[in-house]
Amino acid sequence: MKRNDKTIYLDHASTTSLDPRVKAAMEPFLGLEYGNPSSLHHVGRRARDVVERAREVIADFLSVRPDEVIFTAGGTESINMALFGVVSGNKGAHIITSKIEHSAVLKSCEALEKQGHDISYVPVNEQGLVDIASIDSHIKDTTRLISIMYVNNEIGTIQPISRIAQWLSDVNKMRKDEGLPEILFHTDACQAGNTIDLDISHLGVDLLTLNGSKLYGPKQMGILYVKEGVSLNPHIYGGGQERNIRSGTENVAGIVGLAKAISLAQAQYEEEDRRMKKLWVYATERILREISDVRINGVTDLSTHERLSNNIHVSFKGVNGRSLLLYLDTYGICVSTGSACSAKTQKSSHVLSAIGCSEQYIDGSLRISMGRLTTQKELDFFVDTLVQGVELLRQTTLVSAPLQRITQGKLGSCIEISN
Ligand SMILES: *Cc1c(COP(=O)(O)O)cnc(C)c1O
């Protein structure tokens, strides 16, 4: 894999590059192999075979059955499909989720609330972990769904999904005796596939969301795993593709690319995790040693398997995160403030608020997410530049703060003043 020489890309939690092997696998289906899998002739039948083969490959890696894999147009769509698919049609259904979910979950929940459903948001501790007792305390007779993300996209906290599933299976046994409806469990696993085992038979969930754009695969491609026996209301009506849940002519190239991407990621996740852990320790030790008034957000002990090893989330006191991001960008370094979504709306991160990050620090937060091509040398250049940037911005904060507010934190204002 190659990339633009001048770029140091440390934003893999936003998206990853397309692996050349994935691209190569997709290419025939952007050219001569253009068939519609629903057509009865040989061109269509060939496309159908390819789609079903890809479904089998993915099912194999996830240890599920091929007909439990539904192709979608990405993580957001899978999440919408799971949440709306479970509760629409029920009146006043209750959903339990966490305060630190991706906006695809939180905004879906807001919309469901407007439709008369009832949502509980469980808190997390200062490391970003949910507590099963807290989920338990929110259960009602009307609860139909629990949606807890596998890995948080901002601070990289890994939730105890299989433990929640085990506990829920006991809860469901008791509910069955009481004649209450089963509670289904969905997890958003979009951030998990590069360094964590995605074996669903170990996880024990009923629904799982995964996307291609975080796995060196195609964007706008994802799956929703739907466990056998779970019935979902259709998400898109039409020709009845994807078990009638998600109609529309299949994205054959995207499906092939996704299968390749999942295969590659899951074949090397352990090795990638080991490599990332070393880089994580190296970079955070340098940051903590060379910069004062800094905190690492989320879980700080990698040995507990509660933190994604490619995610470093740091906050600097008295620094504007956006200015720091743009400073690094002038050196070709790509990072993110909090998350890409909150960067756009410029609202302070709901995740950092939920873990109780203090105001002094929240503003100066950066998410550094490493990837397959990240090297120690790149991290050295990044930390060198970061040290300079933090120092420069701390010197100029007093003068530039009012200006920053006016220009909404554009870099120009702080650089000009410092010169
Ligand atoms: C990226 C992401 C999504 C959204 O996926 P898209 O493929 O961009 O629609 C949802 N949840 C998490 C945790 C993500 O990181």
| pLDDT tens digits for range 190-205 | 999 999 999 999 999 9
CB 363 within 8 A of CB 321: yes
Does any ligand 1 atom lie closer than 6 A to the CB of residue 190? yes
CB 274 within 8 A of CB 244: no
Task: Answer yes or no: pTM beyond 0.85.
Answer: yes
Q: Which residue's CA is minimally distant from atom 5 of ligand 1?
A: 75
Residue 348 is predicted with a pLDDT of 76
Q: Which residue's CA is minimally distant from atom 10 of ligand 1?
A: 75
Does any ligand 1 atom lie closer than 6 A to the CB of residue 76? yes
Q: Which residue's CA is minimally distant from atom 3 of ligand 1?
A: 75
Residue 409 is predicted with a pLDDT of 44
Cα 236 to ligand 1 centre (Å): 19
Query: What is the C-alpha to C-alpha distance for residues 223 and 107, in angstroms, rounded to an integer?
Result: 20
Does position 344 have pLDDT exceeding 90, yes or no? no
Average pLDDT over every residue of 92-99: 97
DSSP letters for 179-232: TPPPPEEEEE-TTTTTTS---HHHH--SEEEEESTTTTS-TT-EEEEE-TT---
Closest-CA residue to 192 (of 181, 200, 201, 180): 200
From 16, 157, 191, 367, mutation site for ligand 1 pocket: most ligand atoms within 8 A of C-beta? 191
Ligand 1 atom showing the smallest separation from residue 79 Cα: 10
Cα 156 to ligand 1 centre (Å): 13
Antiparallel, parallel or unpaired: β 311-316 and 294-296? antiparallel
CB 355 within 8 A of CB 155: yes
Where helices occur in 199-314 by DSSP H, the ranges are 200-203, 252-267, 269-290
Residue 357 is predicted with a pLDDT of 87
* Per-residue pLDDT tens over the stretch 239-252: 999 999 999 999 99
Q: Calculate what percentage of the chain has a pLDDT beyond 90.
A: 87
Ligand 1 atom showing the smallest separation from residue 15 Cα: 1
Does any ligand 1 atom lie closer than 6 A to the CB of residue 211? yes
Cα 91 to ligand 1 centre (Å): 28
Cα 339 to ligand 1 centre (Å): 11
Does any ligand 1 atom lie closer than 6 A to the CB of residue 101? no
Lowest mean pLDDT among 122-126, 172-176, 351-355: 351-355
Which residues are registered as beta bridge partners of 296?
A: 314
From 71, 153, 215, mutation site for ligand 1 pocket: most ligand atoms within 8 A of C-beta? 153
Residue 338 is predicted with a pLDDT of 65
Closest-CA residue to 154 (of 375, 355, 360, 332): 355
* Per-residue pLDDT tens over the stretch 364-408: 999 999 999 999 999 999 999 999 999 999 998 665 555 555 444
Residue 343 is predicted with a pLDDT of 52
Query: What is the C-alpha to C-alpha distance for residues 53 and 260, in angstroms, rounded to an integer?
Result: 11
Residue 407 is predicted with a pLDDT of 47
Cα 292 to ligand 1 centre (Å): 33
Amino acid at 214: K
**Residue 157: how many CB atoms within 10 A of its CB?**
27
Does any ligand 1 atom lie closer than 6 A to the CB of residue 222? yes
Q: What count of residues does the chain have?
A: 419
Closest-CA residue to 87 (of 51, 112, 123): 112
Ligand 1 atom showing the smallest separation from residue 221 Cα: 7
| Residue 341 designated active-site | yes
Ligand 1 atom showing the smallest separation from residue 104 Cα: 10
Does any ligand 1 atom lie closer than 6 A to the CB of residue 212? no
* Per-residue pLDDT tens over the stretch 256-315: 999 999 999 999 999 999 999 999 999 999 999 999 999 999 999 999 999 999 999 999
